[in-house]
Chain A
């Protein structure tokens, strides 16, 4: 259980984090969402013990961070945006070093390193010198050092930035796997990513917390969960004509018209999917696909950042 109360952080006169409060249950993956400069990294740095808060408290399992600096850090694993790696070491040497630095004995390390290597999908790379590793592997070594000492709280700042699509899929699995037995905080401005990996999203804007909810609930609260995307067989005109009869549609937009096949996006005032489907089938149009519109979270994000919601 992690509890952050009235946390503020100033850099000189600039307020980077403004009176942020939240608490997190164990074994959850929490996403920190925000534009650059929204205060994500600063909040994470305070939680990691890198920066002292200007005001407010952070407690883990009831233990206040203030005054327990050194022992507190044993419970935390942190990966900054650029993984902190000693390039001249091999992966095993590096994990040995970082593990020992956090007070692990050699027997502990012998048992733990293979576990971490498997967990971070680093198999086969153990003996390689870090400077020779690709960007994706470097990120994973970064995560490995953050979890080597089995921390209660794992903080990952932009773990997916700069990864290619295949690496992103792998990284997603790695991150989900970390939540077994620990709380994971992930920051990102990659919205679909947050949606797919996190149980809960905290949205920061100008240092303040503007939303705190499950990705789905967040969408529902802002009524943007009422957008669907359909692939239909039929012409664009036929589709528009058929849907014109349905009330409670806010907007209908043909996204792609392939002649005999149309991709259409529908924004609804309330959830009337059944009516929409019946109308389409009734009009003799074929329904090939129906799903939530993809950019939900992105819209929420933009809404929140424009100050429309919250």
Chain B
């Protein structure tokens, strides 16, 4: 676990020491703030719970985008610069490398997400929402963000080019979001699988309303585990190429 934390710490430090990390952080906070003001608050009186639900709705989008943007350089940059050799010749496994990178990016995404908390607090101060809904919403954001980070890590493991890594990560993510659309035009059992595995539709919306479903937690956990495992396999395969 020690090398994993070492890598995670270095990754987190890189985000904090480069403009890239701060640019993504600023983008998320700016867009979340704008959308919160323009749509969630709205011009007509609304229930606090609906405002909070809307906040989590658009935050999910910015969180996922941030997840892909944060991860595009994780492994692609190391390969491009040749520094991946340091990790490949160190006495650590590919799984540890992938996990360390994932946790580093997750750490930064966690910081970004935490900084949006002033908006739910504003709702709480000026209206009335349950802390449970806030907590569940944030848990949902981290689950969805974690999936995006894992998918992005996979994109970064596959491609040496950072832009291509983001495109791959983004495409896979969008496909997994749109599964429910495909589910409508397919027959069971394929439609069942597609609708269950769609990241947003059936699984994230309950979080927005303050409900935590264990089936959703399992789905997000599986997606994260699955894509980290795939990334590990990609790195392992490179020794054989």
Contact = CB atoms under 8 A, between A and B. Distances in A.
Contact of A103 (B82, B83, B87, B91): B91
Majority secondary structure of chain B interface residues (helix, strand, loop or mixed):
helix
A101 B85 contact: no
A73 B91 contact: yes
A76 B6 contact: no
A264 to B, nearest CB: 48
B18 A80 contact: no
Given A86-B83, A97-B6, A101-B3, A50 B88 contact: yes
Interface residues of B, number: 24
Contacts of A145: 86
A261 B22 CA distance: 71
Contacts of A241: none
A101 B88 contact: no
A49 B90 CA distance: 9
Contacts of A73: 89-91
B17 interface: yes
Nearest to B85: A84
Interface string A58-95: 00000000000011111011101010111110000000
B89 A76 contact: yes
A75 to B, nearest CB: 9
A232 to B, nearest CB: 51
Contacts of A11: 241
B234 to A, nearest CB: 15
Interface string B69-95: 000000000000111111111111100
Contacts of A98: 86, 90
B240 interface: yes
A96 B14 CA distance: 16
A82 B239 contact: no
Interface residues of A, number: 28
Interface in B76-122: 81-93
A51 interface: yes
B82 A101 contact: no
A178 to B, nearest CB: 17
B3 to A, nearest CB: 6
A101 B90 contact: yes
Contact of B82 (A77, A82, A88, A102): A82
B10 A97 contact: yes
Contacts of A97: 6, 10
Contacts of A77: 89
B93 A70 contact: yes
Interface string A158-190: 000000000000000000000000000000000
Contact of B6 (A48, A78, A85, A101): A101
Contacts of B85: 50, 78, 80, 84
A305 interface: no
A78 B239 contact: no
Contacts of B81: 84, 87
A212 B117 CA distance: 68
A100 interface: yes
A100 B6 contact: yes
Interface string B8-20: 0010001001100
Contacts of A80: 82, 85
Contacts of B240: 51-52
B239 A50 contact: yes
B87 A101 contact: yes
Interface in B224-241: 239-241
A85 B240 CA distance: 24
Nearest to A155: B89
A52 B18 contact: no
Nearest to A70: B91
Given A50-B239, A70-B91, A101 B17 contact: no
A88 B18 contact: yes
Given A97-B10, A101-B6, A74 B83 contact: no
Contacts of B89: 48-50, 73, 76-78
Contacts of A71: 91
Of listed A48, A71, A87, A97, residue having the most chain B CB within 10 A: A97
Contacts of B87: 101
Contacts of A86: 83
A82 B78 CA distance: 13
A172 B177 CA distance: 58
B92 A70 contact: yes
Given A51-B240, A101-B92, 19 more contacts: A48-B89, A49-B88, A50-B85, A50-B89, A70-B91, A71-B91, A72-B91, A74-B91, A80-B82, A82-B82, A84-B81, A84-B83, A84-B84, A84-B86, A100-B6, A101-B7, A101-B87, A102-B91, A103-B3
13 contacts: A50-B89, A51-B239, A51-B241, A70-B93, A71-B91, A77-B89, A80-B82, A84-B86, A98-B86, A100-B6, A101-B3, A101-B7, A101-B87
Interface of B: 2-3, 6-7, 10, 14, 17-18, 81-93, 239-241
